[in-house]
Chains A and B, each alone.
Chain A
């Protein structure tokens, strides 16, 4: 059974069909990329999975759980973490504090214990801090640990957001345009990290990305969308060679 299975998903904004009868599934342990021109419905598909939008029709199953029965905050509890196209961090908090929020779903102590800071809470707290330090080491965020987000450069914030998602130890990581706005070197780093996230951490990755270099470098399978519907699916090479995909990107007559 696939880790994430989406069947016949449809979403309409008024008269506009943003996602049209879309079906795809993501297998455990793979990197799956969604590509397509602007307005193809890539981010919308993401927002459907993380329950930001209510679908018009379709089924969404994650590891046997029906996602439609859950609210956005409960999706995190299942082990799905995400990043955002335009970076959504807690700006008036430090990098460390942002990453610690990622541990939210793992905190199991009670209110009273926390108020009195019992030994159990202290141990839990240390455990969370260790988990966050692992992420900091992994993403080379040491120099920024106690810096406020508000003063950090864009590229670093992008990495912090990835770190916050990783701190929650997800089973499925949704990356919404992880390379947008990054320099060539930063994109290269991102490519290695995504590779390591899959290989070392065993996390399944579903990403939306425009940078075809990054997509063909890290993905096992690629889904091409146009006008909210599936255009092609397969290995990066297959999809890039698909005439329908070339037409959608470059217009008819280019082939």
Chain B
């Protein structure tokens, strides 16, 4: 029973990692760049929803605040691309990496300025009540996280596999010039993907804030999500979710059965193992040419 309990709470945590990892993969699939501010996007999403919902701020009903947060973050992502990232169009990917790392610092600072550095909790209806299934206790927030994460992964997967826009995004990531001349408006497509990743981060933020307290440094768990994305095979959406779940589950087990401190390094130890034995990740889409 204890194992089951650890597993379930690990899965719920893993879903949050998975959601941030999805954001990494989205940007990577569409632009071949890595957005190292993805964790901070989630943190901003969490604070926006908190600012809209909590009594001391705007006090909107949660079910209005949540879609509003998602829209705001989608617009935020799109505008960020329009005014900042588009100026790096055609530049080396390293420029994007450095820019996004810096962006993370800026976002953490701005969030601290607006909402303060003290941990706060979102007054979310998802945070109320527990679910008891045969001795296993599951917070409603955990159930919500798991359900929403799986739905969102399915949705994004379908989007990339089936839709014209999703395929256009993948084409643009591989060869901007060729995509352009095949009739794909590359710049607009990239703006849309940043909007989509903003929206995904907002969902992650709302769910994360429903599970516990948030502060401006919450986004730093993006590093674990990055590990999750690499484990899953950067570029695969189901892989990102699976990587997130693996990292999420490994943590409580390492905390329970190993000496103190091991739970902190366990995800990275796994990352190392994956990089050694399956360098393209568990769900890689890169097929190595066999000669």
Q: Are A82 and B167 also in contact (CB < 8 A) when A92-B286, A93-B174 are?
A: no
* Interface: A172 (CB within 8 A): no
- Identify the closest chain A residue to B159 (Cβ): A115
Report the separation of the CA atoms of residues A68 and B174 in the bound assembly, to the nearest whole angstrom.
Answer: 27
Kindly provide the distance from the CB of B7 to the nearest chain A CB, expressed in whole angstroms.
32
B158 and A115 contacting across the interface, CB-CB below 8 Å: yes
- Distance in angstroms from A120 CB to nearest chain B CB is 13
Among A50, A82, A92, A111, contact of B174 (Cβ-Cβ < 8 Å): A92
Q: Least Cβ distance of B114 to chain A in Å?
A: 34
Is B158's CB under 8 angstroms from A168's CB? no
Q: Mark B157-183, 1 if CB is under 8 A from A, else 0.
A: 011001111011011001101111111
* Known contacts A114-B162, A115-B163, A148-B287; A91/B184 CB under 8 A: no
Chain B interface category by residue count:
20 to 34
Chain B residues within an 8 Å CB radius of A71:
185
Q: Nearest CB to that of A112 among chain B residues?
A: B163
In the complex, what distance in Å separates the CA atom of A12 from the CA atom of B97?
A: 34
Contact between chains at A72 and B162 (CB < 8 Å): no
What residues of chain B lie closer than 8 Å to A93, measured between beta carbons? 170-171, 174
Identify which of residues 175-230 in chain B touch chain A, using a CB-to-CB cut-off of 8 Å.
175, 177-186
Q: Does B132 contact A (CB under 8 A)?
A: no
A76 touches B181 (CB 8 A): yes
**Neighbouring A residues of B183 by C-beta, 8 Å:** 73-77, 104-105, 168
Complex interface: chain B residues within 8 A of A88 (CB): 175, 177-178, 181
Q: Which residues of A contact B181 (CB under 8 A)?
A: 50, 72-73, 75-76, 81-82, 88
Selected contact of A90 from candidates B175, B180, B285, B287, CB within 8 Å: B175
B289 within 8 A of A: yes
Candidate in A50, A100, A101, A168 with the most chain B CB atoms within 10 angstroms: A101
Report how far A246 CA is from B105 CA in the complex, Å: 64
Q: Tell me, yes or no, whether A143 is within 8 Å of chain B by CB.
A: no
Kindly identify which residue among A52, A109, A151 contacts B164, using a CB–CB cutoff of 8 Å.
Answer: A109
Report how far A88 CA is from B172 CA in the complex, Å.
12
Query: Which chain A residues (42-89) contact chain B, with CB distance < 8 Å?
Result: 50, 52, 71-77, 81-82, 84, 88-89
- A82 to B182, alpha carbons, bound, how many Å? 8
Is B174 touching A91 in the complex (CB atoms < 8 A)? yes
In the complex, the answer to whether B163 meets A164 with C-beta atoms within 8 Å is no
Q: Are A90 and B163 in contact (CB under 8 A)?
A: no
Question: Once the chains bind, are B184 and A104 in contact (CB under 8 Å)?
Answer: yes
Bound Cα distance from A121 to B167, whole angstroms: 14
Write out the residue numbers on chain B whose beta carbons fall within 8 Å of the beta carbon of A75: 181, 183
Say yes or no: A90 contacts B289, CB within 8 Å.
no
How far is the CB of B18 from the nearest CB of chain A, in Å?
21
A92→B175 CA distance, assembly (Å): 10
Give the CA-CA distance A73 to B167 in the complex, in Å. 15
Q: In angstroms, how far is the closest chain A Cβ from the Cβ of B161?
A: 9
Bound: A104/B183 CA distance, A: 7
A249 within 8 Å of B by Cβ?
A: no
Query: Does A201 interact with chain B (Cβ within 8 Å)?
Result: no
Please name 15 pairs of A and B residues whose Cβ atoms are closer than 8 Å in the assembled complex, sorted by A: A73-B184, A76-B183, A82-B181, A90-B179, A93-B170, A93-B174, A104-B183, A104-B184, A105-B182, A105-B183, A111-B165, A114-B164, A115-B162, A121-B162, A150-B289
A-side residues, CB < 8 A to B, are 50, 52, 71-77, 81-82, 84, 88-93, 100-102, 104-105, 107, 109, 111, 114-115, 117, 121, 148, 150-151, 164, 168
Known: A82-B181, A168-B183. 14 other contacts (CB 8 A): A50-B181, A71-B185, A74-B185, A76-B181, A77-B183, A89-B178, A101-B171, A101-B178, A102-B182, A104-B182, A105-B182, A114-B164, A121-B162, A150-B289
